[in-house]
């Protein structure tokens, strides 16, 4: 999963922004013209998106119906075939390795999975508890990414593929997962690959670095932990955002201000945590591009893979502060489950900065601007930090931004140009953060 957080608002030039919240003619402050309140949408995020907790706590194979359990065992029995300790530059050798993994996955699935039973099971939305669906989502996402690339580090022959037919053993459960979580991407997302991939021991249930060194495993684990821990620390912020919205709606500017001050304290600490722990000792610069970020990409059919830009806390801050442009619904539904999208859209519709401005709450406006400043500082620091990670040469592959599709060679023919390209994308979002 990609550390580099590049927002996908650039994916469409026609973005519809929410209108400012309407003030009632009587002069009372802002009532939401929405069917879902901020508190309700946060409750749904936790209860539906996290099965009762945030960050989510998935459950795994022992909680799944019998017909689905072979997927867990098949993935784990072949996971050691995914990574190569030394990446090859030989296209023929890489093609052979890719074909071997795909054939092995297909053979094991055909041998061990009862497809008719799987079809019947996954068409029953109550076949397992919500946490089990989350763990199954993580399993199938990792399996599809393994099948898509065939080898890690990612190599150019796989990048050159323009289409890929997945076995029905993978498609049937995947389509059911898309329906349940209301996502449309053929590959995984940050929620499936990271949030849903932690087991009760705080280990990654599914890995792309099986059989490699302790440094590989630590880098993969810390990369995921950074994002999960940010969400753990962000939950109080989400509650404080709800409190601020409800307080300003009740014309209680003092209570709104207190909630925002507390939220800003948390936000500052969250960003400090990320930068304090994004170190070479935790996430190896030499290994990250190849073994941590790479397998979570997609770059097939013009569809992006897992990206740090899908981080909910960053999107929540953008949505709460009205940082435009917002992603189109079509782009956001590729990777974000419905419960996350509902939460974000509710915050956007409230448009608290506009309400504070129209209500002449100067202190509230100032505290919201402090939050914007924290977000700008984060983006500036992130831009500087990512250069060391993104700038590591990977001769076995074409340039591919973290989680995103291939970068045209005329835009970025070498590693230095690649960094320039990424900086341009990050700078655009930094300039929009105002």
Distance CA 108, CA 163 (A): 23
**Coil, strand or helix: which one is 198?**
strand
Contacts of 92 (CB under 8 A, 6+ apart): none
Question: Per-residue pLDDT for the chain (434 aa), expressed as one digit of tens each?
Answer: 555 555 665 433 222 223 233 232 223 333 333 468 999 999 999 999 999 999 999 999 999 999 999 999 999 999 999 999 999 999 999 999 999 999 999 999 999 999 999 999 999 999 999 999 999 999 999 999 999 999 999 999 999 998 999 999 999 999 999 999 999 999 999 999 999 999 999 999 999 999 999 999 999 999 999 999 999 999 999 999 999 999 999 999 999 999 999 999 999 999 999 999 999 999 999 999 999 999 999 989 889 999 999 999 999 999 999 999 999 999 999 999 999 999 999 999 999 999 999 999 999 999 999 999 999 999 998 888 888 898 888 899 887 655 555 665 544 445 566 667 677 778 888 888 89
Phi, psi values for residue 336, rounded to 5° = -100, 125
CATH number of the domain at 8-55+216-432, out of 3.90.420.10, 2.60.40.420, 3.40.1390.10, 1.20.58.480? 1.20.58.480
* Closest alpha carbon to 8 in 418, 414, 336, 368: 336
Tokens 């409230």, residue located: 350
pLDDT of residue 399: 77
Start-to-end Cα distance in the chain: 28
Distance CA 228, CA 53 (A): 12
Distance CA 75, CA 34 (A): 43
pLDDT of residue 21: 31
pLDDT of residue 3: 58
Element (H, E) at 343: helix 338-350
Q: Which two tokens stand for residue 267?
A: 């936000």
pLDDT of residue 30: 36
DSSP lists the bridge partners of residue 406 as: 400
* Closest alpha carbon to 152 in 209, 218, 222, 95: 209
pLDDT of residue 9: 59
Distance CA 60, CA 200 (A): 10
**Coil, strand or helix: which one is 217?**
helix
DSSP letter string, 384-431:
HHHHHHHTS--TTS--B-TTS-BPPTTT-SSHHHHHHHHHHHHHHHHH
Q: What is the pLDDT of residues 220-263, one digit of tens each?
A: 999 999 999 999 999 999 999 999 999 999 999 999 999 999 99
Q: Which two tokens stand for residue 407?
A: 């970068």
* Residue 382 assigned to a binding site: yes
Distance CA 383, CA 113 (A): 45
């Amino acid at each position: 999963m990609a550390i580099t957080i590049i927002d996908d608002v650039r994916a469409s030039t026609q973005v519809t922004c929410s209108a400012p919240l309407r003030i009632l003619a009587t002069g009372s402050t802002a009532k939401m013209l929405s069917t879902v309140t901020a508190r309700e949408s946060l409750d749904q995020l936790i209860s539906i998106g996290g099965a009762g907790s945030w960050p989510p706590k998935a459950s795994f194979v022992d909680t799944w119906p019998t017909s689905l359990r072979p997927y867990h065992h098949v993935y784990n029995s072949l996971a050691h075939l995914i990574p190569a300790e030394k990446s090859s530059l030989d296209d023929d050798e890489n093609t052979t390795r890719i074909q071997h993994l795909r054939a092995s996955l297909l053979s094991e699935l055909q041998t061990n999975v009862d497809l008719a039973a799987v079809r019947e099971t996954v068409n029953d939305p109550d076949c397992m508890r919500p946490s089990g669906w989350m763990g199954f989502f993580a399993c199938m996402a990792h399996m599809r990414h393994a099948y898509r690339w065939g080898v890690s580090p990612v190599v150019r022959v796989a990048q050159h593929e323009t289409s890929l037919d997945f076995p029905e053993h993978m498609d049937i459960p995947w389509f059911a997962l898309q329906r349940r979580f209301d996502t449309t991407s053929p590959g995984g997302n940050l929620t499936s690959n990271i949030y849903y991939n932690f087991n009760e021991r705080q280990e990654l249930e599914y890995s792309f670095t099986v059989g490699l060194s302790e440094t590989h495993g630590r880098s993969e684990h810390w990369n995921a932990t950074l994002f999960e821990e940010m969400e753990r620390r962000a939950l109080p912020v989400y509650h404080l955002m709800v409190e601020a919205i409800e307080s300003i709606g009740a014309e209680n500017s003092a209570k709104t201000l207190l909630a925002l001050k507390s939220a800003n304290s948390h936000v500052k600490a969250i960003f400090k945590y990320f930068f304090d722990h994004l170190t070479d000792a935790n996430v190896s610069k030499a290994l990250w591009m190849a073994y941590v970020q790479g397998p979570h990409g997609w770059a097939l059919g013009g569809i992006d893979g897992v990206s740090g830009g899908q981080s909910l806390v960053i999107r929540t801050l953008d949505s709460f502060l009205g940082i435009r442009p917002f992603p189109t619904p079509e782009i956001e539904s590729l990777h974000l489950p419905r419960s996350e999208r509902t939460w974000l859209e509710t915050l956007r519709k409230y448009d608290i900065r506009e309400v504070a401005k129209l209500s002449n709450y100067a202190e509230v406006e100032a505290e919201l601007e402090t939050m914007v400043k924290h977000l700008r500082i984060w983006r500036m620091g992130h831009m500087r930090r990512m250069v060391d990670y993104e700038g590591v040469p990977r001769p076995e592959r074409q340039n591919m931004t973290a989680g995103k599709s291939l970068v045209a060679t005329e835009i970025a023919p070498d590693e230095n140009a690649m960094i320039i390209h990424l900086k341009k994308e990050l700078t655009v979002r930094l300039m929009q953060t105002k």
